[in-house]
Amino acid sequence: VRLRQVGEFPLIERIARAARRGARDAGVVLGIGDDAALLRARPGEDVAVTTDALVEDVHFRWRSIEPETLGRRALAVNLSDLAAMGARPLGCLFALAAPPALELARLDAVVRGLVAEGRRHACPLVGGNVTRARETSLTITVVGAVARGRALRRDAARPGDRLCVTGVFGAAALERLTAECGRGRRERRVPLPRLAAGAALARLRGAGACIDVSDGLLADLGHLLQASGVDAALEPGQVPRPRGFAAACARLGLDPEALALRGGEDYELLFSVRPGAPGTPALARRLGCPVTEIGRIVPRRGVGAPRAAAAGWTHF
Amino acid sequence: VRLRQVGEFPLIERIARAARRGARDAGVVLGIGDDAALLRARPGEDVAVTTDALVEDVHFRWRSIEPETLGRRALAVNLSDLAAMGARPLGCLFALAAPPALELARLDAVVRGLVAEGRRHACPLVGGNVTRARETSLTITVVGAVARGRALRRDAARPGDRLCVTGVFGAAALERLTAECGRGRRERRVPLPRLAAGAALARLRGAGACIDVSDGLLADLGHLLQASGVDAALEPGQVPRPRGFAAACARLGLDPEALALRGGEDYELLFSVRPGAPGTPALARRLGCPVTEIGRIVPRRGVGAPRAAAAGWTHF
């Protein structure tokens, strides 16, 4: 069965039924079916909102990813943005553009993945849009809430801050390259958005700046530094990598350090904390996940100052 | 200059600059440039959120609409959804998918239109996404706020309610058909989202259900009736039409009643009010725009009951 055999309103009804099965209605006043969804934050909270699109042949290929995994991923990468703000999810919107010839079973699986991922992170599907297009794209918008004045911003790093990350780096890039070399199976990775860690960091006295790492550790560090008007002294050897990573890279002839620093799609949090904040072991307990210190925030040098790396350190 | 000559981050910076020029920051805590935007509702308000996409060759053709008008329209149709909830805008997100060969000047004009329309309705551009794609699509998400328990819903119509509309019907369809016949110029119409009217209706004691008319008066009336579990006695002759409409239709050999009832893209509000609500002239004053009564809400007849029209009335 193809989408064209279903029609717009039955399609919306179909998605709405799947969404209702997954609904957690803590923050949902009104879900799919009206002109807008209604969500409720707690008193004293601001609303955080972000959107991201996955486009066929740009961000995914049907032959290299399971449709259900695609649906999960589409939501997870957006939730990672909420995590980087320290926000908790209230709900999400799904704007689908797809050719009329798309198989209904494929869309059903995408929606199933989206709803399942939403259930996992208390982020119900509350609205969206469906339209015809030449290529498939999934545009997800997530709405969240965060206590006023506690949101984690990119522009809050200060010289003297310790620079930290959650989790490990390079695994996603390694899996992607392995699959592209034809040595791996279809992509099965769904990033784990660090929602609990972000929320805990937002509550922490001594939190600095925060960003989630999607473009690669060095690239997103650059975004954080630019927004904050500072530089960083980074110890690349400290960037945590998965177990067995060096050996796996060697088998494929890949440089493990480059992959960890530039690979991208890690969806870990990169953040700074003030000098007086708890030490790394205590931070890891508070955030509920592995935390590693990888450098320090330093003052920005003047325009034109050399960006040369000191021994063992890369400067930005 | 084409998009491919600009690069992702300069493109985002370019859109952010245009957005800042248009920003009204009443409800904006944090705009473009972080992992999510932060918006602030007033105490006791719920958050309303809705999304809609315009796809090249499905919803628009570059040769038949000015890019700036396209940007205005893309936002206006979403604001119409907020209006139908009785919500006021807080901000909007713009997810762009476009071929690398798209002319930068075209995108600039779209953004200019979007920001100008946002300024007009106090809906600043606070975030979004840019991605490569084979065809251009503009996905807009608007976030608004409405006092708790006052949102206008589709499912709130009751037998005995008077059925009313704002404005006139058929103008958009007539312009579209005229342009398609090659007799008109490029599309210049930007719908006027009925935000003030929707907000006033949400405050009104005696408000019933509400929907905005995008698919056509009969189609959207059908959605309202289905959601509310009721029927309507509609007087088609009462549906207000633009001045000179009958003559313009006659010149093109079009049926004015069909165009007004089914044409679509009117973006007026269709709503019901309880029997005790103010009369039509008082309603028009409260809502600040023309209001016409076009029928009444009646109980739903049993499944299988004939949907035949009585003289001068259409039943659903």
Query: What phi and psi, each to the nearest 5 degrees, are found at residue A143?
Result: -115, 135
H helices of A7-163, where? 8-22, 67-85, 104-120
Residues of chain B with pLDDT under 50: 304-316
- Select the residue of B34, B59, B154 nearest A34 (Cβ to Cβ): B154
Interface of A with B in 26-45 (CB under 8 A): 29-30, 33-41, 43
The number of helices, as runs of H, and strands, as runs of E, in chain A is: 9, 12
- Interface touch B129/A53, C-beta < 8 Å: yes
Inter-chain touch A50–B35, beta carbons under 8 Å: yes
A292 min Cα distance to partner chain B (Å): 22
**Over chain B, what is the mean pLDDT?**
91
Helix axes B195-203, B280-287, angle to 10 degrees: 120
DSSP, collapsed to helix, strand or coil, labels residue B3 as: helix
Q: Residue B264 CB: number of other CB atoms within 10 A?
A: 20
State the pLDDT at residue B275: 96
Cβ A51–B131 below 8 Å, yes or no? no
Q: Is A136 on the interface with B (CB under 8 A)?
A: no
A207 three-class SS: strand
The answer to whether B104 contacts chain A (CB < 8 Å) is no
Q: Find, in chain B, the residue whose alpha carbon is nearest to that of A148.
A: B40
B207-212 and B137-147 strand pairing: unpaired
The strands making up B162-166's β-sheet, listed across from edge to edge, are B207-212, B269-273, B162-166, B291-299, B230-234, B314-315
Q: Quote the CA–CA distance of A230 and A210 in Å, as a whole number.
A: 14
Put simply, whether B264 touches A (Cβ < 8 Å) is no
A16: how many CB neighbours lie within 10 A of its CB?
19
Across the interface, of A39, A53, A142, the residue whose CB is closest to B131 is A53
Contact list, A58 vs chain B (CB under 8 Å): 131-133
* Beta carbons of B50 and A127 less than 8 Å apart: yes
On whether any CB of chain A is under 8 Å from the CB of B52, the answer is yes
* Ordered alpha helix ranges (H), B135-255: 171-180, 195-203, 217-228, 245-252
Choose among B35, B41, B131: nearest Cβ to A47: B41
Under 8 Å between Cβ of A20 and A13: no
The helix-helix angle for B195-203 and B67-85 (nearest 10°) equals: 0
pLDDT of residue B304: 44
Low-confidence residues of chain A, pLDDT below 70? 22-25, 182-187, 302-316
- Determine contact: B282 vs chain A, CB below 8 A: no
pLDDT tens, position by position, B157-214: 999 999 999 999 999 999 888 877 766 566 678 999 999 999 999 999 999 999 999 9
Inter-chain CB proximity B36 and A53 less than 8 Å: no
DSSP alpha helices (H): ranges in B33-165? 67-85, 104-120
Q: What is the pTM of this model?
A: 0.92
- Give the residue from B269, B254, B273 showing the smallest Cα distance to B169: B269
Q: Which residues of chain B lie closer than 8 angstroms to A33, CB-CB?
A: 154-155, 227
SS3 of B257-310? HHHHHHCCCCCCEEEEECCCCCCHHHHHHHHCCCEEEEEEEEECCCCCCCCCCC
Interacting residues of B253 by C-beta distance below 8 A, sequence separation 6+: none
Are A39 and B29 in contact (CB < 8 Å)? no
* Best CA proximity match to A223, nearest among A84, A73, A54: A84
- The answer to whether residue B166 neighbours chain A at the CB level (below 8 Å) is no
Whether A212 contacts chain B with CB within 8 A: yes
**With contacts defined as CB-CB under 8 Å, which chain A residues touch B90?**
47
Q: Please report residues of A whose CB lies closer than 8 A to that of B33.
A: 154, 227
- Select from B82, B143, B83, B131 the least CA-distant residue to B107: B131
Structure tokens given for A80:
């990672």
B128 vs A contacts (CB less than 8 Å): 51
Separation between Cα atoms, residue A139 and residue A51, nearest integer Å:
7
- Nearby residues of A311 by Cβ (< 8 Å), 6 or more positions away: none
Q: In the prediction, which pLDDT does B184 show? A: 59
Q: What interface predicted TM-score (ipTM) does this complex get? A: 0.91
CB spacing of A127 vs B58 below 8 angstroms: no
- Name which of B215, B24, B192 is nearest B124 in CA terms: B24
Written as one letter, the residue type at A173 is: A
Does A18 lie at the interface with B, CB-CB under 8 angstroms?
A: no
Chain B: residue nearest A96 by CA?
B53
Q: How many CA atoms lie within 13 A of A20 on its CB side?
A: 9
Is A13 an 8 Å CB contact of chain B? no
Q: Does A155 lie at the interface with B, CB-CB under 8 angstroms?
A: yes
Return d(Cα B155, Cα B251) in angstroms, integer. Answer: 40
Of A38, A133, A139, the CB nearest to B95: A139
Please give the distance of CA A144 from its chain centroid, rounded to a whole number.
Answer: 14
* Chain A residues within an 8 Å CB radius of B55: 97, 131-133
